[in-house]
Structure 1
């Protein structure tokens, strides 16, 4: 499938559109190209800290115009999944949350009650303020029967000083203490991609996924039945690609290669 035949686009954010809060070459122009063609698109992120409104504002500061309804986070995917689950459970909907505003807001808007008393779910997401008290409470609630949900499996996250322990690392601690494995909603679970497609009203056969990670973006896009495009502007290298038994449909240096016209003449160094 060529870019001209694609009717809908999903794209990762970090390493594809931005790096260290700086827009990558061609990102702004590609977003404008999609708007000009009236093509549905969604920007995906496993980050559950921020609301879509927050992320829209942060992208705007990087020079990228992405309306909040075009952003789909692991928090939104988690809230959507749990709302479907609680409908099946005759409307029960309570959760104990270890996370930030992006996750609590998404769950509130999905109709959930936040509680520390016999919740249906313990939901763990990204936060910069993990506390021993909150983790201990999560462990005890899971031992008492709450179902264990995690927004995304990322074990570490970046910071100017180096890596930080992230959701997957905290989830592993809770699993070790409880013996319970969580259900993980975010990438590489294709559930997140399917919920984004439902959000758009799109079909996977006409949709492309752009990502910079083989182990999340590409494998999940492939399993969801989408056309996959790997960009080399993020974490992947040619050496790392060969480690996987699957391949993306296309490999490009950066999103500027998806533009109708070259970016300022010669392709830039991404």
Structure 2
């Protein structure tokens, strides 16, 4: 058994559900913090900055430090900085994405950018999408923060990054490179941010197709919780399995030091 486990956790469906804390999540985060166990909360949502998300979680009663939040926007900025330092991008997205790109020294422009970077927003503009299509046609590389096709709202599903990326891909014939889950690049960038290794890090998520798959492909142990979109039978639908299936993150309270008992 590893001397100490590090934790990567999805946010929606693991810690919170529709702006409400999942029972046991606050106790688990408090236990990790009290015991000095390193952790990061991961989200494919690129709308918000870590500071925004910390405040949103705090309003639900979850105290997660800004430094312990890792978004697809941060992973995308880190990836672009490694590919083309000091580059330029035309961005469709919100402050979470534009701030992350500014922080790595990127210039945001609609004139001959190196990249078109598509993130999530609640107000997709037909004009901006048209501009993105023309820039990709003119040679800009196409990047998307994550492949999620829809996002939740109180009224029902909303089109998300994956749906708009499919529109641009259909118009241009250019497939985007997706940085967020299930791309294991998101996991590896989170591991680097945490200063951790895959051998003693686990991923907790509520989705087999993103959380568990990304964890497996990055060499992590994985835990599927059933407080999000997955049911008891969900794991059986896939050709891979999580290391453990738990009803809730509450099942780990008191066991954070040994999440895989014999």
Within 5 Å, which residues of 2 pair with 1:80-229? 80-87=78-85, 91=86, 93-229=87-223
Provide the TM-score with structure 1 as the length reference.
Answer: 0.93
Tell me what 1:50 maps to.
Answer: 48
Query: Within 1, Cα distance between the matches of 2:13 and 2:126?
Result: 32
SS at the partner of 2:121?
coil
Tell me what 1:73 maps to.
Answer: 71
Question: Aligned to 2:35, which of 34, 37, 62?
Answer: 37
Tell me what 1:240 maps to.
Answer: 234
Deviations 1:165-193 (A, max 9, x none): 11000000000000000000000001001
Query: Within 1, Cα distance between the matches of 2:57 and 2:39?
Result: 15
- Root mean square deviation, CA, Å: 1.1
SS at the partner of 1:54?
helix
Contact 1:148 1:182 in 2 (8 A): yes
Q: Gapped runs of 5+ residues in structure 1?
A: 262-270
Query: Within 1, Cα distance between the matches of 2:59 and 2:84?
Result: 37
Provide the TM-score with structure 2 as the length reference.
Answer: 0.95
Q: How many residues align?
A: 255
Question: Aligned to 1:23, which of 21, 24, 47?
Answer: 21
Query: Within 2, Cα distance between the matches of 1:179 and 1:152?
Result: 18
SS at the partner of 1:43?
strand
SS at the partner of 2:48?
coil
SS at the partner of 2:168?
helix
SS at the partner of 2:8?
strand
Deviations 1:29-78 (A, max 9, x none): 11111111101100000000000000000000000000111000000000
Query: Within 2, Cα distance between the matches of 1:169 and 1:63?
Result: 33
Of 5-14 and 46-55, deviating more is: 5-14
